[in-house]
Structure 1
Amino acid sequence: MTSHSIPYGHLRTLFFDVGNTLVSFDLELVKTELARHEIVCDVQDLRRAEAAARPTVSASLSSERTTETLSTFELYLHVMLLNLPAQPVHNESSLARVAHDLVQAFDAIGRVRLWSNLLPQVPETLEALKNRGLQLVVVSNSDGTVEELIAAVNLRDLFDSVIDSRIVGYEKPDPRIFEHALNVSGASPETTLHIGDLYHADVVGARAAGIHALLLDPYGDWINVDCELVPDMPALLQQFPKP
């Protein structure tokens, strides 16, 4: 229990991040792209390395550096590569060059295709939460394609509203994107919970708007953070009182 305990029984609205909350990279696609750079790994290696990169990326965020800057995405990919099993033909500097090349390759692939892997039990969990009368809203830092992205994985109909940072002009952790989401949804901050994967974007930003916040932490990588943690979406559902 933290000093920021969440009143699950009184919540009326849930805000959701998208990347690494509802969907992840298509890891087979990423694995294939890495093989072009002589990086050998399996999907589980990638999954673990990606999660391990999140605290470092989160700590780099500021008002000048958000998740949508190319430098942040490149840092994210570089730290992910550093967390893979050791690669005989690579070192830290060569992996930095690979990360730079991957930014260009993934930009060509497009965000909707890259982030096309539904995380486990996401549709079922969202449906269960919606069936309990909760309003569900996407609040995502994106490039104007997040609505298309969630439609491509058949999640769009589960959400009452979709807030895309490119469209509204504010990016997490700027509290104004959360305030915009509150206005659009008619929700009250005291009865709203935001679920995400990056402390400095999702928790700091939501709290600045008076909203409760929680992090998904599948491998226990977040140490000494002052917020509640759950490993995945089914575990989130278990926090709510049974109907």
Structure 2
Amino acid sequence: MSSELRRWNRCYQKKERYYAIRPAKSAKAGLDGSATEEYEAARFKMVGMPHAAKAIFFDVGNTLLFPDRERIYAPLYKHNVVPTPELLRSIECRTKAAFDALLQQGGAADHGFWYMFYSNLFEELGLQQDGLRDSLVTATRVSANWGAMRPGTREILQRIGKRSRIGVISNSDGKIAALLERHGIADCFLNMTDSGLVGREKPHPAIFHAALRTMNVAPEESLYVGDLYSVDYLGATGVGMQAILFDVCGAYREMDLPRVESLEELEQKLSS
């Protein structure tokens, strides 16, 4: 294991402790140990689910669009390596925990996440081909390779857009507007702020301020929805915005912060 990967793993162990909360009391759990609906509702109230916002901004990657695995993982498939969805989910959760800890210690910006992700994946698979890993990192950074969109996304965005102005804040390659246009959802947004055009990546305050200025809305009147705690949640709240974690893989289930696991759940929470 490389010294860099050992550092990430130490950060992961530290972040596990950071995320840990006291064991749930019986009142919090069902017979199978899962959280009850009553507890989940109370938890949202307890942590202060964001109030109605004049403007709602969305991350794109792992929030609105997801990786096209057939395209990105093609080099792996050529080596007869096919990671299971369960393994990829586990690696994503592990990497988010370690990356959050690393970034808060002054580590790399958002795109460094994918180098860490594939390093962890290759470690798990027992692969030592740095060139192959680097090709996967490069492919994942190309916005055109984020081609998976969940059914109902456009309809939900349209309904949310009837109540609030909605926009995008994304760390991308300057082509996020074209990507959203290709997937038929660009017209849902009044503003699309792309780090490739702004010149600053989340969590830097400049990209959030640029989006707020374009939308002509104050930070406290705005809500940001994104999937990375250190990049999206802390970046947004750091400039005074409200924020919700979009936690599809369940990496942040133990954190008492506003979070949802689908757009359907987000719409429900915003309507309640």
TM class, shorter-chain normalised?
0.7 to 0.9
Given the alignment, which residue of 102, 106, 119 partners 1:78? Answer: 119
Correspondent of 1:102 among 120, 129, 136: 136
Post-superposition Cα deviations, 1:188-211, rounded to whole Å, max 9, x if no partner, equal: 222211000000000111011100
Distance 1:82 1:148, change over 3 A: farther
Q: Secondary structure at the match of 2:266?
A: helix
Structure 2 residue 101 is the aligned partner of structure 1 residue 48: no
Residues of 2 paired with 1:50 and 1:116: CA distance?
A: 21
What corresponds to 1:117 in structure 2?
A: 148
**Matching of residue 35 in structure 1 with residue 77 in structure 2:** yes
Alignment length (residue pairs): 227
Summarize the Cα distance change of 1:209–1:150 in structure 2 as closer, same or farther, 3 Å threshold. same
Q: Structure 1 residues 222 and 97, CA, compared in 2 at 3 Å: closer, same or farther?
A: farther
Aligned twin of 1:154:
184
Higher helix share: 2
The amino acid that maps onto 2:119 is: H
* Deviations, residues 70-111 of structure 1 (Å, cap 9, x unaligned): x4431122234556xxx4xxx1x616554223234x17xx72
For residues 108-143 of structure 1, the C-alpha deviation after alignment (integer angstroms, 9 at most, x for no partner) is xx7232111113432121111012x21111001112
Secondary structure of the residue that 1:94 maps to in structure 2? coil
Question: CA contact under 8 A between 2:62 and 2:227: conserved in structure 1?
Answer: yes
Equivalent residue number for residue 66 of structure 1: 109
- Shift in Å, 1:151: 1.2
The residue type paired with residue 19 of structure 1 is G
Please name the residue that 1:6 is paired with. 49
CA distance in 2, matches of 1:210, 1:112: 28
Q: For 2:158 and 2:87, how far apart are their aligned partners in 1? A: 28
Query: Partner of 2:3 in structure 1?
Result: none
Distance 2:185 2:98 in 1: 29
Contact 2:143 2:173 in 1 (8 A): no
1:57 aligns with 2:88: no
Q: TM-score, normalised by structure 2?
A: 0.74
Q: Select the residue among 20, 24, 31 that pairs with 2:62.
A: 20
Bigger drift between 163-172 and 203-212 goes to: 163-172
Q: Structure 1's 123 and 46: CA in aligned 2 closer, same or farther, altered over 3 A? A: farther
- Please say if 1:176 is aligned against 2:206: yes
Match of 1:207 among 237, 241, 251: 237
Larger radius of gyration: 2
The 8 Å contact of residues 54 and 197 in structure 1, kept in 2 or not, is answered as no
RMSD between superposed Cα atoms in Å: 2.5
Query: Relative CO higher for 1 or 2, CA cutoff 8 Å, sep ≥ 6?
Result: 1
Instruction: Tell me the secondary structure at the aligned position of residue 270 of structure 2.
Output: coil
Unaligned runs of 5+ in 1: none
Where does the alignment leave 5 or more consecutive residues of structure 2 unmatched?
A: 1-42
* 1:157/1:103 CA distance change after superposition, 3 Å: same
CA distance in 2, matches of 1:228, 1:201: 15
In structure 2, give the amino acid aligned to 1:159: F
Cα distance in 2, alignment partners of residues 31 and 167 from structure 1 = 28
The equivalent of 2:247 in structure 1 is 217
Distance 2:177 2:121 in 1: 26
Contact 1:112 1:152 survives alignment (8 Å): no
CA-to-aligned-CA distance 1:40-85 (integer Å, 9 cap, x gap) = 234x3465246423333333325562113xx4431122234556xx
